[in-house]
Amino acid sequence: MTEDAAVGSLKGTVAVVTGGASAHGIGRATARLLVARGAHVVVGDVQDDAGQALEAELGHNLIYRHLDVSSEADWASLMDAVIDRFGNVTALVSCAGIALDGTIESTPMTDHDRVIAIDQIGVWLGIRAVAPSMRSAGGGSIVNISSVAGAVGQPCLGAYSAAKWAVRGITRQAASELADSGIRVNTVLPGFIDTMMGGQGADQRESLRLNKGHSGATVPMGRIGEPEEVARLVAFLVSDESSYCTGADFVIDGGLLAGPLAEAADWG
C-alpha cells in the first residue's frame, strides 16, 4: 500500500472534481490524490483533450466528462454519468475558476460576468446538483476552493476577489442548510500556488517560474506552495478525519495572510 493510499483512506468515496483537467492545477492534483487513496473520481472540465488523457492514464477509477460549471444542463448531464457509473456522489471539490485582471472601474461587464459565472455561480450550481445525491447516500463532503483574495481585497482582481469572497458566504449558507443531512461544506483558501488558471500557456508558466523568488519573499515561509499540498488539505476535508468540520475556512498560504500581503503586488 502506498503512503497516499494508507493515509486517510477514501475507499468507497465517489467524488466529483471540477477544473481537474488543467495540467498544473489544484483540481488535477486533487483528482490524482483522491484516486490514490481509493476514491472513484469524476473530473468535470472544459479542457476535453486534457481530461480524456487523464482518464486514459488513471484507468477505471477516474472518468472525465465535459462540464461548463456555469451550465445547469451540464451539471445535470454530469450527475447522470456519475450515478450511472459509480453510484451516489459523496464528495464534491469545486476547483474550476478563472482570474481576469481589472479593477471594479476598468473591468468590462462581459469579463466581470464571466468570472462571476465560473467562480461563484459554478460553485452554487455544484452544490445544488450534488446535494440530492449526497442526501440519498446518507451524507458527504463539499470542498469549495476560494483564495486569499477572498479574505482581503486584491489590486486589479476586482471580479475575482468579489467572487472568492462570495464562495465563502455560499459555503457557510450551504453548511447551515445541509448539516442535518450529514453533508459538510468547507472552504479552502490557497495563497501563492505554483499553478495556472484560465488555460494559460508555457510563457505564463515560465514567467511564474522566474518570479518564484520574489513571490516567495512575500510569504513568511519563504516559498510558494505546490498544488499537491493543497490537494492533501482537500483530501483531509473530504475524508471522515474531518468529521466535525463544516462551515469553516481553511487557509493554506505559507503565512501570507499573517505577513505582508499588501506587498505582493505581482499576485494574480
- Per residue in 95-108, pLDDT tens? 999 999 999 999 99
Residue 257 counted as domain residue = no
| pLDDT for 268 | 41
pLDDT-based confidence at residue 232 (cuts at 50, 70, 90)? very high
Percent with pLDDT over 90 in the chain: 78
Q: Based on the structure, what is the number of domains in the chain?
A: 1
Contact yes or no for 218/48 (Cβ under 8 A): no
pLDDT-based confidence at residue 214 (cuts at 50, 70, 90)? low
Assess whether 160 carries a catalytic annotation: yes
Q: Pick the catalytic residue from 160, 236, 250, 267.
A: 160
Taking 80 as the threshold, does the pLDDT of residue 186 lie above it? Answer: yes
Q: What is the DSSP letter of 155?
A: T
Residue 38 counted as domain residue = yes
Residue 265 counted as domain residue = no
> Stretch 220-248: mean pLDDT, rounded?
96
Residue 264 counted as domain residue = no
pTM of the complete model: 0.90
Q: Please, what is the average pLDDT of the chain? A: 90
Residue 171 counted as domain residue = yes
Residue 33 counted as domain residue = yes
Angle at 22 between CA 142 and CA 11, to 5 degrees: 45
Contact yes or no for 217/177 (Cβ under 8 A): no
List the CATH number of the domain containing 240.
3.40.50.720
| pLDDT for 217 | 61
Q: Report the C-alpha gap between 81 and 61 in whole angstroms.
A: 14
- Dump pLDDT digits (tens) for 144-184: 999 999 999 888 899 999 999 999 999 999 999 999 999 99
| pLDDT for 195 | 85
Residue 56, C-beta contacts closer than 8 angstroms, at least 6 positions apart: none
Residue 267 counted as domain residue = no
Full residue range of the structural domain in which residue 204 is found: 3-252
Residue 63 counted as domain residue = yes
